[in-house]
A and B are shown apart, each in its own frame.
Chain A
Amino acid sequence: MNNEHLVLSQVSIDFPTPTGPFRALDKVNLKISKGEFVSIIGHSGCGKSTVLNIVAGLYQATEGGVILDHKEVNQPGPERAVVFQNHSLLPWLTAYENVELAVKRVFRGKKSKAEMKEWIEYNLTLVHMEHAMHKRPDEISGGMKQRVGIARALAMEPQVLLLDEPFGALDALTRAHLQDSIMEIQADLGNTVIMITHDVDEAVLLSDRIVMMSNGPAATVGEILSVNLERPRNRVQMTETPEYMRCRKAVLSFLYERHGKKQAPEDTEKTAAISQEDTSSETPNNETASNSANSQVISMPPLQSKAS
């Protein structure tokens, strides 16, 4: 397999602060091959969303760069579609129109009107949203909104699909459904996917490789773990396999034994950085969402218990 589809080399980023530049990421190196599903996991504030935003082109790396298919990434574009944590659907458009906006942008001149309509409907069906196609975001549930967000991203036929904590704001059951959907879709279409998550089980279930990030400031790739579980994966049966337990243990021990969150006194500088990052990139309720997601990981997944 070609291991050079998406390359992050020596990616570092400084955010300006009143007290001088703050280094959020330091020399992140990562190579992702075509069709691979990679998760990035780490504590909140470690800069994993920043990595994704750099790949998306929403942030510019201060040093180093991202190369997709031998071309440097320096601005956002539909070939790197993002599924945002807060769905980011336009509230004044229906599900169909939201997808249509993306499809019209990407396939203008390449598809006829009828083909576009068919393609929009196909993608909404893919995420099981065919029954609520013409509803507006405020008329559908959080999980459905996220499905539409995924359909919008898939409809762009991206080379890389970027998922920014896509299930973070959802309840455990809905999350399990959507994880299954994502697995199916990825098996069908063979997309290259990068997913940001806090959830250890989610990472093990979905990924080919899990990238574990060290804590900021100057966060970087700590370890990369390959998940050698056969696909298609079944979330219930899988939990009993030794490979699953090995992966889970590896991630947990990385996160809580070697890179556990440091205590208050040392933390001041970092929290400043987190709030800085939040104001520049993320919505306000992101922090609370990530906190609750974090505590779920620690107190063990409600997802598994409900699903089994």
Chain B
Amino acid sequence: MNIDIKQWANTLLVPFIGIVLFLGVWQLGAPKVVTSLGAVPGPVEVLQQFGGLVDEHNEARAKEQAFYERQEKRNAKKLEKDPNAVVKIRSYTGKDTFFDQILTSLITVLTGFILAAFIAIPLGIIAGLSQTVYSALNPLIQIFKPVSPLAWLPIVTMVVSASYVSQDPMMSKSFITSAVTVLLCCLWPTIINTAVGVANISQDLQNVSKVLRLSWWTHVRKIVLPSAIPMIFTGLRLSLGIAWMVLIAAEMLAQNPGLGKFVWDEFQNGSSNSLGRIMVAVVVIGLIGFLLDRGMLTLQKYVSWDKSAALR
């Protein structure tokens, strides 16, 4: 009984108290920091701004709905008059709302991250299996790992502009630029961790593989991958965290219509609401980052053979 209460306090009560204390300090401290756009908003103002963003979103959706209804009616009328008339169907071109931008950001980050994983895991496995490959890759990894996304961005932008030319582009250039920048920045932790995980496979299991003379492919599939799964996921989680952080910066500069652009636009806007709306974005970015990490943990639990392993 006593233990139950303790556990309950540790998992719910104590974190709750921490959050309340933080909000209190924020509420009291924020008005004291005055900027040209007014005082820094406290949590209450931020919550109001969030409500405003939700309203804006609903309004935009209603407008869109109305637009399509009008269009349908107009087209129906046209067809009534003349069944052979050519009807035009236009898509709605309103401004992206905050929630549309969240969705864009998520799609962009996952595209970059998944592509990175498809490159990094095989590379990491090869580097883990072969000391030679590892020695060749290691200096490159160490050099490129600390490079800021802001340094990659101009290069990526130029390359994408030059190579991605199409009359009817499936994806916008800003999307590709952002996704590729994310990819370049989040490759490294997965490569390193996968390589370490693969290199540390128990000698016993490697001996089994040798005695059975397993083919390279079977060895990788049956022995290497299952043993390295925990380390691969450690790498993937680090990568996803970096990817999400990089994305915001990349979107700001590449003008990919996601959360980064939202923050930048509000900053340029400079209205009295801007600071509050940027704060909303900060909190949302943090929450989504947290949820992405939880998502990876859930995926790891699903993929890993060892269901009893404590994952944190």
| A81 neighbours in B (Cβ, 8 Å) | 211
Residue of B nearest to A136 (CB): B305
Contacts of A300 in B (CB 8 A): none
Q: Mark A149-163, 1 if CB is under 8 A from B, else 0.
A: 000000010000000
A-B contact sample (8 more), CB < 8 A, given A58-B210, A90-B223: A56-B211, A78-B213, A84-B204, A88-B204, A88-B205, A90-B208, A102-B212, A283-B202
Which A residues are closer than 8 A to B by beta carbons?
Answer: 56-58, 75-78, 80-82, 84, 86, 88, 90-93, 101-102, 105-106, 138, 156, 281-283
Give the interface size bracket for B toward A. 10 to 19
Which residues on B sit within 8 Å (CB–CB) of A105?
A: 212-214, 218
B212 to chain A, nearest CB (A): 5
Interface pair A88/B208, CB less than 8 Å apart: yes
Can you offer 24 A-B residue contacts whose CB atoms are under 8 A?
Answer: A56-B207, A56-B211, A75-B213, A76-B211, A77-B213, A78-B211, A78-B212, A78-B213, A80-B211, A84-B207, A84-B208, A86-B204, A90-B205, A90-B208, A90-B222, A91-B305, A92-B305, A92-B306, A93-B222, A102-B212, A105-B213, A106-B212, A281-B203, A283-B202
- Asked whether A92 lies within 8 Å of B226 as measured between CB atoms, the reply is yes
**A91/B306 contact (C-beta < 8 A), A56-B211, A105-B213 known:** yes
Closest 10 CB pairs of A and B: A92-B305, A88-B204, A76-B210, A92-B226, A76-B211, A105-B212, A88-B208, A82-B211, A77-B213, A102-B212
The dominant DSSP class at the B interface is: helix
Number of A-B contacts (CB under 8 A): 58
Partner of A90, one of B210, B211, B226: B226
Nearest residue (CB) in A for B304 is A92
Q: Shortest beta-carbon distance, B199 to chain A, in Å? A: 15
Quick check: A283 and B203 within 8 Å, CB to CB?
Answer: yes
Complex interface: chain A residues within 8 A of B202 (CB)? 283
| Shortest distance between the CB of B204 and any CB in chain A (Å) | 4
Q: How far is the CA of A81 from the CA of B212 in the complex (A)?
A: 8
User: How many angstroms from the CA of A92 to the CA of B221 in the assembled complex?
Assistant: 12
Roughly how many angstroms separate A147 CA and B204 CA in the complex, as a whole number?
Answer: 17
Q: Which residues of B contact A57 (CB under 8 A)?
A: 210-211
Please, how many angstroms separate the alpha-carbon atoms of A78 and B226 in the complex?
23
**In the assembled complex, how far is the CB of residue A206 from the closest CB belonging to chain B, in whole angstroms?**
22
Q: Which residue of B lies closest to A104 (CB)?
A: B218
Q: Please report the C-alpha to C-alpha distance between residue A31 and residue B214 in the assembled complex, in whole angstroms.
A: 29
Q: How far is the CA of A92 from the CA of B208 in the complex (A)?
A: 14
Q: Complex Cα distance A77/B209, Å?
A: 10
Residues on B with beta carbons closer than 8 Å to the beta carbon of A102: 212
Q: How far is the CA of A283 from the CA of B142 in the complex (A)?
A: 32
